[in-house]
Amino acid sequence: MSRYGQLPPNVSLETSEFHWKTSDEDLKALQNLVRYSRLGPKTYENSQPDGKYGATYEWMKEAKAYWENGFDWRAVEDRLQSFPNFKVQVVDDDGSSHGIHFLALFSQKEEAIPLMCIHGWPGADPIAGSILEFLGLLSLLQDKYSTPDQLPYHIVVPSLPGFAFSDPPPLDRDWTLNDSARLMHKLMVGLGFGGGYAVQGGDIGSYAARMMASSYDACKVNMCVITCPDQSTHGSLSIEDHERKGLERAVDFGRFGTAYAVQQSTKPATVGFTLSASPLAMLAWIGEKFRDWTDTTPSLDEILASVTLYWLTNSFPTGIYSYRQEIADKPGQAKTQDDLENVFRKPAKGYMFHEDPELYCRKPMGFSWFPYELGPVPKSWISTTGELVWFRYHDKRGQGGHFAALEQPELLLEDVEDFLRQVWV
């Protein structure tokens, strides 16, 4: 176990080290499936070099060949296992037990700040949309703070229920992101951080962060993403010129980039079966997101790490439950900035939206604005959702998109540290 793997003194959960290695047979089976799976024919749509109609033929052909003969999954496993890995059983309010996997860097400083970082979708379990997303940030922390005595934080990076190595949601009830947020809080309390912790998240991880900050006293501060406020309630809100460009991205995404979300929210069972049957189908579905949602397209190694993790853990079908909660009851799609409310403001009851007083954040809140996010919203909108005390624009091309922890770990780490220095007392 890494020197950062010594558990804090007040842990009440039964916590065990976690080691996972794919069998040679499973890797060979995946390689054969990739090799013998048929790549669809060239079409007008998949021949467009800008990828506006989805994954391109040339990219899929290149990725398939590399997945067969060049991609090194063992290197991904080694990198993942280079950090302390744990699995715990978290007992929910109804007495049910849920296995939760997490990475951690534990400090030996008495005054260390507990910080949970929560992935989004699709990610790669820390790589992007799961824990793989945060491996770069963890490496930076180890480089900057070379011993646990110097590390000023207890960093906890969980796999949400249904993702990668955490248990899937139960079969006998409708599991929501609120339930996952509750388990994340119980995890932090069980690790001895009931006196207070901070939480940071991207994508659905940011929604969970807001739920935690709004619901639990121990969750002191958070950094999260924001949707569109009801301007009939808040009046006319100012928008800067560079923020209008962000709203243009949001409109574009609402018109041309949300078909996947509608499918995952309305027919998750069907898409789950479809992608579980073919690694190439999963590659096209997930790989497209890494190409379209980033400022600079990640390497094939990074994309294939995410897709391979989903495939080997069979966790794609169990990790899309939040989309039913987020999308299913939303009306229409946005065609103009005035229509953004239809895309962002009216998710299903109980989800994160501005006008729910139970989700107003009455604790210090921070926000990092990345220019190539799918829908980076104006600061004035963000200020309607909680006690916004820290905000930073990254408004230059090349400074990050939807997967900030993967694309710009240095910038994100700087933001988180500056935020915590300001608000943690």
For every residue of 275-316, DSSP letters joined together read HHT-HHHHHHHHHHHHHHS-SSPPPHHHHHHHHHHHHHHT-T
Catalytic site residue 372? no
Cβ contact 305:330 at 8 Å: no
Catalytic site residue 119? no
Q: Active-site residue among 203, 292, 295, 415?
A: 203
Residue type, 236: S
Catalytic site residue 234? no
74, 152, 289, 413 from 420: Cα distances, Å = 36, 11, 31, 11
Q: Can you give the pLDDT at residue 225?
A: 53
Closest CA to 407 of 283, 298, 303: 298
Closest CA to 224 of 24, 416, 422: 416
Residue type, 8: P
Q: Can you give the pLDDT at residue 337?
A: 53
Compute mean pLDDT per 10 residues along the chain, 425 residues long, and list them: 88 95 97 96 97 96 97 95 96 97 96 93 53 80 95 96 96 94 98 95 84 90 57 61 78 84 93 97 94 82 94 96 72 50 44 60 85 75 84 71 68 89 86
Q: Which two tokens stand for residue 297?
A: 């397209």
Rg of the Cα atoms in the chain: 21
Q: Can you give the pLDDT at residue 356?
A: 64
Q: Can you give the pLDDT at residue 193?
A: 97
Q: Where are the alpha helices (DSSP H) in 82-176?
A: 135-144
Cβ contact 150:189 at 8 Å: no
Judged on CB neighbours under 10 Å (0-12, 13-18, 19+), 27 is middle
CA distance 113 to 72: 36
User: Is residue 161 reached through a cis peptide bond, with omega within 30 degrees of 0 on the bond before it?
Assistant: no
Cβ contact 41:48 at 8 Å: no
Closest CA to 65 of 283, 285, 273, 314: 283
Strands 15-17 and 85-91: antiparallel
Total domain count for the chain?
Answer: 1
CA distance 76 to 65: 18
Could you tell me the pTM of the whole model?
0.88
Q: Give the CATH number, domain containing residue 188.
A: 3.40.50.1820
Q: Active-site residue among 4, 207, 216, 323?
A: 323
Q: Can you give the pLDDT at residue 405?
A: 63
CA 185 to chain centre: 17
CA distance 326 to 238: 27
Question: Domain range spanning residue 231?
Answer: 3-423
Q: Active-site residue among 98, 101, 119, 402?
A: 402
* DSSP secondary structure letter of residue 51: -
